Structure 1
């Protein structure tokens, strides 16, 4: 039976959710309907299967329309549509940078939530891996472009969840890895490993993951299995060695005090040392840092420099401070490093 599409519905109807008209990409056909608000009513603007044009999109935005509406039951279709067009959206400079940053964060949250919560802890399957790989490939130039980190800083979530933490660490690691002179292909390999660095946490009990502050000894022992558990989780997909290194070694430390293998110094790959700095920073600025977690980037960076000089790569830390300083996310700490 053919679906009946309402042409009018009351504004504020909970069966709809708002999106920016700039996210409806020209020439791409979406399997969702788009509604426009007129007064207190939502009016059908484009039915599923119809393509927007540049003129449609630009006219809406230039006339002050900042939100169009999609039916809640079609959210998954809309999310897939954004994923499929993400690269073009992120590189479209006619879309304001904050809009593109918000699109990246919302799309990545949907993808990682689905991968980490709906499909785990079973082994990562090939379809999910292809979805994650495509996402990183489409995002890498945006993540390493000037001003992107500053725009993304507005969206970074500090309420600790494994998937939002992984997104945040990806955002921080990519511009830092770029300072190592990596090309796009290498950045994609590292990006995949960064996005999946905590995939082993899907096999750790939630009571341990969500505990604020110091873990009990037996909980710590279980927690420390997550790098190896992560490698086991991705065993069925074709990850590169760089990506596997990110998963397995991101808790190794410069003085050999880390885990699971006790690597030290130059034995730890440079990209993993970069990831470890970004991982530590995001953990300390999130609720997982415990009740005494620092509340600003300045406080966290100061703590990292004073308390972790023997465990983190301080040259990588210096580069990280410069990256944050360039994005004005360091609270002025960069000036002290000069």
Structure 2
């Protein structure tokens, strides 16, 4: 605890980063036996003092000292935020599962990690010219979802999702970014719907945790009929896992309908056309696109052009208007 620094009181959003040298982080992210790739500061009067050097090993003494000082916030330099974001992602499971940490702080850690992963997906999937205001809507959506997820049982389920299906969680965030971006082209004044659908997109594959992983890494035509039926049960299993949480009906519908198709060839119900809500059609399409461009175990990673070509070849499976809107978002074309 040596050098001092002056800074405005900031947070990890773009505007604050520009005017602030430091921003707030949770003291509960100081995890003993972990090295931080960022320096930590304490606020002292109108200035800031160094608490831990970049690369320093966090110890139980660090944690105890923070408790003695009754510290509510630590601060990280804005230029260190990428390293802090990676640190939060790497230790999110550990934080979410620690019942000694208040629910509010665990929820805050989930929010920070999810925003960081969403930004990675936004930058990976969408044109470089997509403006910051559009990502701001996604950041706000994630923050508003805490109204439903900032509770012990929900955080425990999220911890399990991340620990047992980390790639599923990342895929869900990728699908959420695409789905919300497409919905924003025609849903203008319904923030509650966007939050509900965003949560459904993030959690859509949670039911896969109840089934053997091999069902989803082997070729579909290599599965027996029984195994195919098991794989097709994951949307209903996902709804079952989330049914005890106070989630909006649209969130549960997203989880249940994310493999339904326009022509009725999807599952689990085989619903088609007007029987499917528009947001479920968008989610189904964006789920397919993200799967194709993400690749994974035993799956070739396709380019955006290859993925869209394959989707178009499945005539009638996906809603034509929603496909048009996805292509427009990917190319940043303007839609009326």
**Normalized against structure 1, the TM-score is what?**
0.58
How far did residue 165 of structure 1 move?
A: 1.1
Work out whether 1:249 is the aligned partner of 2:249: no
CA change 1:55–1:162 in 2 (3 A) is same
User: Aligned pair in 2 of structure 1 residues 114, 162: CA closer, same or farther (>3 Å)?
Assistant: farther
Matched-pair contact (CA < 8 Å) for 1:200–1:226: yes
Equivalent in the alignment of 1:131: 107
Check conservation: 2:172, 2:205, Cα contact below 8 A: yes
- Tell me the residue number matched to 2:185: 179
Report the CA distance between 1:131 and its aligned residue: 3.4
Counterparts of 1:1-80 in structure 2 under 5 Å?
Answer: 25-26=22-23, 30-31=27-28, 46=40, 50-51=42-43, 68-69=54-55, 71=57
Secondary structure at 2:107's aligned position in 1? helix
Q: 1:322 is matched with which residue: 318, 328, 332?
A: 328
Alignment of 1:159-178 (within 5 A): 161-178=167-184
Q: How many residues are treated as equivalent by the alignment?
A: 252
Unaligned runs of at least 5 residues, structure 2: 3-16, 64-71, 131-164
- The aligned residue for residue 37 of structure 1 is none
SS in 1 for 2:23: coil
Indicate yes or no: 2:199 matched with 1:192.
Answer: yes
The SS at the match of 2:178 is: helix
Q: Which runs of 5+ in 1 are unaligned?
A: 8-21, 35-41, 58-66, 78-83, 120-126, 154-158, 327-333
Query: Would the aligned equivalents of 1:28 and 1:51 in 2 still touch at CA under 8 Å?
Result: no
Deviations 1:233-284 (A, max 9, x none): 0111011111011000111111111111111001111111111111001111
Q: 2: CA distance between counterparts of 1:43 and 1:258?
A: 46
Residue 297 (structure 1) aligned with residue 312 (structure 2): no
Could you say which residue in structure 2 is the equivalent of 1:280?
288
Residue in 2 that maps onto 1:209: 216
Q: How many Å separate the matches in 2 of 1:161 and 1:44?
A: 26
Q: CA–CA distance in 2 between the matches of 1:95 and 1:245?
A: 39
Alpha carbons of structure 1 residues 242 and 30: separation in structure 2 relative to 1, 3 Å: same
